[in-house]
Amino acid sequence: MNELPGDLLYTSDHEWLRREGDGSVTIGITEHAATALGDLVYVELPEIGQEVESGGEMAVVESVKAASDVYAPVAGSVTAVNEELADDPERINAEPYGDGWIVRMEVGNLDESALMSPDAYQRLLDELDD
């Protein structure tokens, strides 16, 4: 597994979050999650403008094998979705932290207390490997 990007925050549900500096965040799933799911074949995206609660269902990613909910790591309002995933869901497998992003949200004051640093998330992954 490759090294985790250092500029992202992570969740124990294996999602990542990038602060865009304009009050919005970009959200995706981690390489660990994408690898565990296997080849992705379908992504169900939220509507733009949709209000999402922290911990609420935000998207669904489906691999050949299984469907998995993507939960919002923070509350916010959806401002953009990655439309490219409709035709090419495997972008998430290929570039989970880049072209495989899923949702952009307006979050106002970001509560980072429930989020993990790259180091903390790496420790979680190490524990899962044991």
Partner 1 sequence: MGSKTPHYDRHVEAGARIVDFGGWDMPLHYGSQKEEHHAVRRTAGMFDVSHMTIVDLGGERVRDFLRYLLANDVARLGEPGKALYTCMLQEDGGVVDDLIVYCIADDKYRLVVNAATREKDLAWIRRQAEAFGVHVAERAELAMLAVQGPKARELAAPVIHAEYRDAALALKPFYGLDAGDYFVARTGYTGEDGWEILMPAADAHAVWDRLIAAGVVPCGLGARDTLRLEAGMNLYGSDMDETVSPLESGLAWTVAWEPADRDFIGRAALETQRENTDRRRFVGLVLEDKGVLRNHMKVIVEGVGEGEITSGGFSPTLERSLALARVPAGDYDRAQVEVRRHLLDVRIVRPPFVRHGEACIDV
List residues near partner 1 by CB under 8 A: 38-39, 41-42, 44, 60, 62-65, 67, 86
Nearest approach, Cβ of 87 to partner 1 (angstroms)?
Answer: 9
Q: Which is nearer to partner 1, 68 or 79 (CB)?
A: 68
> Would you say 106 and 98 are in contact if contact means Cβ atoms under 8 Å apart?
no
Q: Which is nearer to partner 1, 76 or 89 (CB)?
A: 89
CA distances from 38 to 20, 64, 68 (A): 29, 7, 11
Q: Is 88 helix (H, G, I), strand (E, B) or coil?
A: coil
Which helix H or strand E contains 107, and what residues bound it? Answer: none
Nearest approach, Cβ of 119 to partner 1 (angstroms)?
Answer: 26
Q: Which is nearer to partner 1, 37 or 115 (CB)?
A: 37
Within 13 A of 78's CA, how many CA atoms are on the CB side?
A: 21
In sequence order, the 6+-apart residues with CB closer than 8 A to the CB of 123 are: none
Nearest approach, Cβ of 63 to partner 1 (angstroms)?
Answer: 8
Q: Which is nearer to partner 1, 38 or 108 (CB)?
A: 38
Nearest approach, Cβ of 20 to partner 1 (angstroms)?
Answer: 28
